[in-house]
């Protein structure tokens, strides 16, 4: 079983910027109200709900000279990486031993639409070359690597489901093989009205803008923008303690949750999508207490990264937090109550896609005993 230490965490979401903002949102337990944006490009509705990523407090993370040619997608991914490094609290002394991996499903959708709109409106010769360069999925990984000076391997993992767990597996493999000492593992998702119009045509969106992740009997999908970064290293290095515990390699499965740590709480990355509900129903039959925090950041292809961060933040604080909108949980669910989590617990984070394929990632707090906040 591959395992890595979680050395630093950074994120931008509707919960705010930084792991402290995420922890505060978990402690409040209050669902975040989405923003309503117009759909001028047509579609089944005139507007859509979105949990937008908040950027307050990130203005000084990237020098203006580096930021002025970046689109929001790459800039926010870079801010998440800077936040993770600041949280880790140590300087990278061997950049050639640092790898960078970024997972994304939707990619740089705003720059992609912007480039296509410019071709239509102005012609090929006047379309923005900057917009074109940053419309590709691998732009954030390249920009993070170049800006931070990390010269180890760089990879972008894409997919509409399980992209982040696959990126995590690769990161752990690099560390296990000794290819690198550290991996900066990121994710990035943004929304555009054109994408929203297409997704709404598939159905399952919330009419009221209330994401109820534990209500498996009701469609309540609300998209959200999220940018995350997790600095991973070897679990047994005293000079770089596992500040946020350790994370195991992801285990992919179909239908039934694989055995292991059967009494551990289950943090579900459920997002109100009815196509995934049956898979989550099968998973929770194990009887483990469940929690879901998607109402704090919204749904997107790599939002499960934030579910793992929520597990790490809970274990580091020694406290399980109440799930937002827990009162809407489907009958029969054993909802995890708020309260102390005790020494050395484990949380399993589970994601199910619309085809019934699942993945579970265990986060462990063994190394946190005696150093919790």
* pLDDT class of 42 with cuts at 50, 70, 90: low
* pLDDT class of 238 with cuts at 50, 70, 90: low
Higher-pLDDT residue of 117 and 95 is 95
- Report whether pLDDT(74) > 80: yes
Kindly state the average pLDDT of the residues 11-40: 94
Residues 6+ away with beta carbon under 8 Å from 169: 2, 249, 250
In this predicted structure, which of 104-113, 142-151, 314-323, 352-361 has the lowest mean pLDDT?
104-113
The model's pTM is 0.93
End-to-end CA, the chain: 28
In this predicted structure, which of 65-79, 188-202, 292-306 has the lowest mean pLDDT?
188-202
- Report whether pLDDT(239) > 90: no
* pLDDT class of 98 with cuts at 50, 70, 90: very high
What is the C-alpha separation between 1 and 265, in angstroms, rounded?
Answer: 20
Question: What tokens were used for 311?
Answer: 């597990």
Each residue's pLDDT tens digit, 100-115: 999 999 998 888 777 6
* Domains in the chain, CATH or no CATH each: 3-368 (3.40.47.10)
* pLDDT class of 14 with cuts at 50, 70, 90: very high
* pLDDT class of 367 with cuts at 50, 70, 90: low
pLDDT score recorded for residue 369: 46
- Report whether pLDDT(340) > 80: yes
- Report whether pLDDT(178) > 90: yes
- 27-34 contact pairs (CB < 8 A, 24+): 27/319, 27/321, 29/321, 29/322, 29/323, 29/324, 29/338, 30/324, 31/210, 31/211, 31/295, 31/296, 31/324, 31/325, 32/295, 32/296, 32/297, 33/209, 34/209, 34/222, 34/224, 34/298
Sign of the torsion formed by the C-alpha atoms of 366, 233, 78 and 160: negative
What is the C-alpha separation between 299 and 304, in angstroms, rounded?
Answer: 9
pLDDT score recorded for residue 280: 95
Kindly state the average pLDDT of the residues 76-98: 94
Average pLDDT of the chain is 90
- Report whether pLDDT(253) > 90: yes
């Amino acid at each position: 079983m591959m395992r890595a230490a979680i050395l630093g965490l950074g994120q931008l979401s509707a919960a705010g910027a930084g792991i402290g903002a995420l922890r505060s949102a978990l402690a409040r337990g209050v669902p975040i109200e989405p923003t309503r944006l117009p759909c001028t490009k047509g579609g089944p509705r005139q507007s859509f709900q979105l949990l937008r990523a908040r950027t307050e407090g990130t203005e000084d993370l990237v020098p203006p000279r580096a930021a002025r040619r970046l689109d929001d997608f790459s800039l926010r991914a870079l801010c998440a990486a800077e936040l993770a490094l600041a949280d880790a609290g140590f300087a990278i002394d061997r950049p050639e031993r640092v790898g960078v991996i970024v997972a994304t499903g939707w990619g740089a959708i705003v720059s992609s639409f912007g480039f296509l709109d410019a071709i239509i409106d102005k012609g090929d010769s006047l379309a923005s070359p900057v917009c074109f360069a940053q419309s590709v999925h691998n732009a954030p990984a390249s920009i993070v690597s170049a800006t931070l000076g990390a010269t180890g391997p760089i990879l972008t993992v894409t997919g509409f489901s399980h992209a982040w767990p696959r990126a995590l597996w690769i990161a752990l493999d690099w560390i296990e093989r000794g290819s690198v000492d550290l991996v900066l593992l990121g994710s990035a998702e943004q929304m555009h009205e054109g994408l929203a119009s297409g997704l709404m045509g598939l159905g399952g969106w919330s009419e009221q803008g209330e994401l109820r992740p534990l209500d498996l009997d009701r469609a309540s999908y609300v998209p959200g923008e999220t940018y995350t970064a997790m600095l991973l290293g070897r679990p047994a290095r005293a000079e770089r303690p596992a500040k946020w515990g350790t994370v195991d390699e992801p285990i992919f499965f179909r239908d039934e949750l694989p055995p292991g740590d059967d009494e551990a709480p289950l943090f579900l990355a459920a997002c109100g999508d009815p196509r995934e509900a049956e898979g989550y129903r099968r998973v929770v039959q194990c009887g483990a207490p469940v929690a879901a925090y998607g109402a704090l950041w919204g749904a997107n292809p790599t939002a499960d990264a934030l579910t793992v961060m929520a597990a790490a933040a809970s274990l580091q604080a020694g406290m399980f937090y109440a799930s937002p909108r827990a009162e809407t949980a489907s009958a029969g669910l054993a909802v995890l109550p708020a309260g102390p989590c005790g020494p050395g617990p484990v949380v399993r984070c589970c994601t199910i896609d619309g085809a019934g394929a699942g993945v579970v990632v265990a986060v462990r707090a063994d190394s946190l005993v005696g150093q919790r906040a």
